[in-house]
A = this chain, B = another copy of it.
Amino acid sequence: MLGSRCFGYLRMADKKFESLKRLSNLTTVLENPKIGEVTEVKGWVKNLRVQKELIFADVSDGSCGKKLQVVIPKHLTSDALSYGSSVRIVGLLSKSPRGQIELLADTVNVLGSCIVSEGYPFQPRKTHPPEYVRQYLHLRSRTNYISSILRVRNALTMHIYDFFRSRNYLNVHTPILTSNDCEGAGEVFKVQPDSDETVKAMMQEGKDRDSVYFGSNTFLTVSGQLHLEAVCRGMGNVYTLGPTFRAENSRSRLHLSEFYMLEAELAFCDRLEQLQEVIEDLFKYVFVKTRDTNEGDMWIIDKENEVPSWSDKKFITITYEEAINILMKKGLNVSDEGINKEQELAIVDHCGKVPVFVVRWPKELKSFYMKECQHDNTKVDALDLLTPVTGEVVGGSLREDDYQNLKVKIPSERLNWYLELRKYGNIPTGGFGLGLERLMQVMCNISNIKDTLPFPRWPHNCDM
Q: Which residues of A approach B to under 8 Å, CB–CB?
A: 23, 25, 27, 42-45, 61-63, 84-86, 88, 111-115, 118-120, 137-142, 147, 150-151, 153-154, 157-158, 161, 165, 168, 170-181, 187-195, 198, 201-202, 213-220, 226-227, 230-231, 233-236, 242-243, 245, 247-249, 257-258, 260, 267-268, 414, 417-418, 420-428, 453-455, 457, 459-464
Q: In the bound complex, do residue B464 and residue A227 qualify as a contact, i.e. CB atoms below 8 Å apart?
A: yes
Q: In the bound complex, do residue A86 and residue B189 qualify as a contact, i.e. CB atoms below 8 Å apart?
A: no
Q: In the bound complex, do residue B193 and residue A192 qualify as a contact, i.e. CB atoms below 8 Å apart?
A: no
Residue of B nearest to A120 (CB): B424
Q: In the bound complex, do residue B139 and residue A424 qualify as a contact, i.e. CB atoms below 8 Å apart?
A: yes
Known contacts A150-B170, A173-B453, A462-B215; decide if A236 and B194 are in contact (CB<8 Å): no
A346 to chain B, nearest CB (A): 30
> Complex: how many Å from CA A464 to CA B119?
48
> Complex: how many Å from CA A268 to CA B268?
50
Minimum-distance CB pairs A-B, first 6: A62-B235, A112-B426, A142-B234, A141-B234, A193-B247, A214-B462
Q: Can you list 5 A-B contacts with CB-CB less than 8 angstroms, sorted by A residue number?
A: A112-B422, A187-B193, A213-B247, A214-B459, A242-B242
Q: In the bound complex, do residue A189 and residue B189 qualify as a contact, i.e. CB atoms below 8 Å apart?
A: no
Q: In the bound complex, do residue B425 and residue A214 qualify as a contact, i.e. CB atoms below 8 Å apart?
A: no
Q: In the bound complex, do residue A176 and residue B243 qualify as a contact, i.e. CB atoms below 8 Å apart?
A: yes
> Complex: how many Å from CA A25 to CA B168?
9
Chain B neighbourhood of A462, CB < 8 A: 175, 177-179, 214-216, 218
Which residue from B191, B214, B424, B455 sits with its C-beta under 8 Å from A174? B455
Residue of B nearest to A83 (CB): B425
Known contacts A178-B464, A417-B138; decide if A247 and B194 are in contact (CB<8 Å): yes
A246 to chain B, nearest CB (A): 10
A53 to chain B, nearest CB (A): 26
Which residue from B142, B154, B190 sits with its C-beta under 8 Å from A425? B142
Q: In the bound complex, do residue A461 and residue B176 qualify as a contact, i.e. CB atoms below 8 Å apart?
A: no
Which residue from B242, B249, B414, B464 sits with its C-beta under 8 Å from A198? B249
Q: In the bound complex, do residue B179 and residue A187 qualify as a contact, i.e. CB atoms below 8 Å apart?
A: no
> Complex: how many Å from CA A420 to CA B178?
36
Q: In the bound complex, do residue A153 and residue B141 qualify as a contact, i.e. CB atoms below 8 Å apart?
A: no
Copies of this chain, complex-wide, total: 2
Q: In the bound complex, do residue B173 and residue A118 qualify as a contact, i.e. CB atoms below 8 Å apart?
A: no
> Complex: how many Å from CA A233 to CA B113?
13
Chain B neighbourhood of A234, CB < 8 A: 44, 62, 139-142, 147
Q: In the bound complex, do residue B460 and residue A215 qualify as a contact, i.e. CB atoms below 8 Å apart?
A: yes
Residue of B nearest to A82 (CB): B425
Which residue from B219, B230, B420 sits with its C-beta under 8 Å from A194? B219
> Complex: how many Å from CA A114 to CA B425?
5
> Complex: how many Å from CA A425 to CA B114?
5
Q: In the bound complex, do residue A188 and residue B194 qualify as a contact, i.e. CB atoms below 8 Å apart?
A: yes
* Most central of A168, A176, A426 by chain B CB within 10 Å: A176
> Complex: how many Å from CA A23 to CA B119?
61
Instruction: Using A153-B173, A218-B462 as known contacts, list a sample of 17 further A-B pairs with CB atoms less than 8 Å apart, ordered by residue number in A.
Output: A62-B235, A63-B235, A86-B427, A112-B425, A119-B420, A138-B418, A150-B235, A151-B170, A173-B454, A188-B193, A193-B247, A194-B247, A202-B459, A213-B460, A227-B464, A230-B454, A417-B464
Q: In the bound complex, do residue B249 and residue A179 qualify as a contact, i.e. CB atoms below 8 Å apart?
A: no
Q: In the bound complex, do residue B171 and residue A154 qualify as a contact, i.e. CB atoms below 8 Å apart?
A: yes
> Complex: how many Å from CA A179 to CA B461?
10
> Complex: how many Å from CA A357 to CA B229?
41
Chain B neighbourhood of A454, CB < 8 A: 172-175, 227, 230-231
> Complex: how many Å from CA A111 to CA B421?
13
Q: In the bound complex, do residue B114 and residue A424 qualify as a contact, i.e. CB atoms below 8 Å apart?
A: yes
> Complex: how many Å from CA A114 to CA B424?
4
Chain B neighbourhood of A217, CB < 8 A: 194
Chain B neighbourhood of A248, CB < 8 A: 198
Q: In the bound complex, do residue A194 and residue B198 qualify as a contact, i.e. CB atoms below 8 Å apart?
A: no
Residue of B nearest to A218 (CB): B462
Known contacts A42-B427, A151-B170, A170-B154; decide if A257 and B177 are in contact (CB<8 Å): yes
Q: In the bound complex, do residue B460 and residue A214 qualify as a contact, i.e. CB atoms below 8 Å apart?
A: yes
Q: In the bound complex, do residue A230 and residue B141 qualify as a contact, i.e. CB atoms below 8 Å apart?
A: yes
Which residue from B25, B114, B171 sits with its C-beta under 8 Å from A158? B171
A90 to chain B, nearest CB (A): 13
> Complex: how many Å from CA A171 to CA B187?
29
Q: In the bound complex, do residue A84 and residue B425 qualify as a contact, i.e. CB atoms below 8 Å apart?
A: yes
